[in-house]
Amino acid sequence: MEKSPYDLTGMDTKAAKEYILHHITALKLNEKNIRELDSDINKWENRIQLAHSKGISDLAEEAEKEVLRIKNELDTLKTETADLKSGIQRMIRQLPGLAARDRSVDPDLLEQELLIVAGFMPGDEEKAAQDREFAALEKNAQADSALADLKKKLQDGNQ
């Protein structure tokens, strides 16, 4: 099975950060190219309108073909950009794990890894704490309910 280009397994933290930077640079270049292609589309659509207003339909058709070509290129670039963005996010989420392997146990990194394992993102500590509080409250509520049911059964049995 082929390794994903967004898998940082086997890299040290420094190499992983450089690799991510390379992807971020590609992302920024793609975003710049998207802006340029959007501008080109506007330019060619204006040319289509100009050719139609002058009654030069064959020139308008050529301009329409150019717009379609640019739109296809733009769609491809947008798809690649979206893939890059999600890949960069996946790689960034892997960094705490790589950093933890590079040195001894760091309690902050350990906490972040535990959050990730629990299904939370780093920075969601408050949400995780709230989930623990609600779980404890729900457990206590179930215990109180079971106790009340037991007391009721005892009372009904004594009457």
Of 67, 78, 83, 72, which is closest to residue 34 (Cα–Cα)? Answer: 78
Q: Which pLDDT tens digit goes with each residue over 1-46?
A: 677 888 888 888 889 999 999 999 999 999 999 999 999 999 999 9
Q: Which pLDDT tens digit goes with each residue over 58-95?
A: 999 999 999 999 999 999 999 999 999 999 999 999 98
Cβ proximity of 91 and 5 under 8 Å: no
Task: Report the Cα–Cα distance between both ends of the chain, in Å, rounded.
Answer: 71
In the chain, beta strands by DSSP E: none
pTM metric for this prediction? 0.59
> Does residue 103 register a pLDDT over 80?
no
Of 9, 2, 5, which is closest to residue 87 (Cα–Cα)? Answer: 5
> Does residue 106 register a pLDDT over 70?
no
Q: Give the C-alpha separation, 153 to 146, whole Å.
A: 11
> Does residue 120 register a pLDDT over 70?
no
